[in-house]
A = this chain, B = another copy of it.
Amino acid sequence: MTIRTDLAMEAHELCKSEARDSAEIDGVSAATENYDGVSITRVNITNENGSRRLGKAMGRYVTIEAPNLKYSKDEFDTVCNLICDELRAMAEVDPDSLTLVVGLGNGKITPDALGTRVIDCLMVTRHIKRYMKEILSDNISNVCAIVPGVLGTTGIETVDIIKSITEKIKPQLVIVIDALAAADIRRVSTTVQIADTGIQPGAGVGNNRECVNEEVLGVKVIAIGVPTVIDAASISDAKIPEDLAPLMVTTQDIDAVIDRMSHAVAAGINLALHKDITPDEIENYVG
């Protein structure tokens, strides 16, 4: 594949269109459902052949597409609830288990800021559980969060930061949030991918992504990603000069898109981790 994409569903589409036949790929299954204008595509990669063909690790990838998410409050609410449902289907969370949410990417580069912005909207409770347990109701789970930064500004491999903190605080679940690259510009601003495979080196916005997965961290890792750029190769065959900073192709409304998407992802996680919580209770804690 010459066009790079972080979305398993796009990798699957591209792979099938290249194969020029309608036969299924061994080791890959895919199915799509619809909910009120929002579609969910589930791609499962079940063996090495599927993994090699799609260029993705074995595991489950759920892609939620909401073409009107930017404008429609209804689609926004649907997406929040779907993220919640899919997270709960991938991982059991109970009020006594600790979840570490990691906001990846560089908060200073708008299309790469999704991870850090989700953390801003997250309901973090670990310190309250430790020091003021009495003010928390029983349905509130134990959640903490970090923004590790990027190799270029810390000088430290991001995975090493996550790993050392994981070893220290011993969460039962790690959720990593990252901005992704898509092949199709229409998926920027409309799409969320949830995967139980963690993060593999891929297209992304930054160019130095490292593996953050269960094998490395020793604890279940769910990755939530939102495409915020498309790979320059997706719209061009032109040769980009080698000595340039990597190109970034995105839409002019990316700032508003990142804002909207980070709220949706944070709301989905908040709903999934805490039992029977209402939006008002979330406002109570997040402020």
Which A residues have a C-beta under 8 Å from some C-beta of B? 70-74, 108-110, 112, 119-120, 124-128, 143-149, 151-157, 160-161, 163-165, 167-169, 185-186, 189, 205-207, 232, 235-236, 238, 240-241, 244-256, 260, 279-280, 283-284, 287
Of all chain B residues, the one with the shortest Cβ separation from A240 is B185
Tell me which of A108, A164, A186, A207 has the highest count of chain B C-beta atoms within 10 A of its own C-beta. A164
Copies in the complex: 4
Q: Establish whether residues B155 and A143, one from each chain, have CB atoms under 8 Å apart when the complex forms.
A: yes
CB distance from A103 to the nearest CB of B (A): 10
Q: What are some 8 contacts across the A-B interface (CB < 8 A)?
A: A71-B287, A124-B152, A145-B155, A147-B147, A164-B165, A244-B251, A253-B287, A260-B287
Q: Establish whether residues B153 and A161, one from each chain, have CB atoms under 8 Å apart when the complex forms.
A: no
CB distance from A270 to the nearest CB of B (A): 14
Q: Establish whether residues A253 and B245, one from each chain, have CB atoms under 8 Å apart when the complex forms.
A: yes
Of all chain B residues, the one with the shortest Cβ separation from A126 is B155
CB distance from A173 to the nearest CB of B (A): 14
List chain B residues, Cβ under 8 A from A155: 124-128, 143-145
- With A73-B283, A144-B156, A185-B244 already in contact, 19 other A-B pairs whose C-beta atoms are closer than 8 Å: A71-B283, A71-B287, A108-B255, A124-B154, A125-B155, A127-B152, A127-B157, A146-B148, A156-B165, A186-B241, A189-B245, A206-B252, A235-B236, A235-B247, A245-B251, A245-B252, A247-B252, A248-B254, A249-B249
